[in-house]
Amino acid sequence: MKPYILDVWKTFKFYGYRRIAAYSQQTDGPKVSEYMTLKLMRELGIKSRM
C-alpha cells in the first residue's frame, strides 16, 4: 500500500489524502479508504503541496 500511495503522490503532488483515496477507488490499484490514506501519508511523511 505504501508504494502505491507514494507513486500517486509523486505523480500528483498537489493531491491530499481525500483525493488520493478517490483516485484509488477509480483506478485498478488497491482500494484505499480516506483514513488509511491519511495514516499512510503521515507514516511516509508526505503532504499535499497546496
Say what the pTM is: 0.88
Q: What's the pLDDT tens digit per position in 4-17?
A: 999 999 999 999 99
Radius of gyration of the chain (CA): 9
Residue 36 · residue 1 · CB < 8 Å? yes
pLDDT band at 49 (very low <50, low <70, confident <90, very high): confident
Q: Report the pLDDT averaged over residues 32-41.
A: 95
Residue 9 · residue 15 · CB < 8 Å? yes
For the cut 90, the answer to whether the pLDDT of residue 50 exceeds it is no
Phi and psi angles of residue 15, each rounded to the nearest 5 degrees, phi first: -80, 135
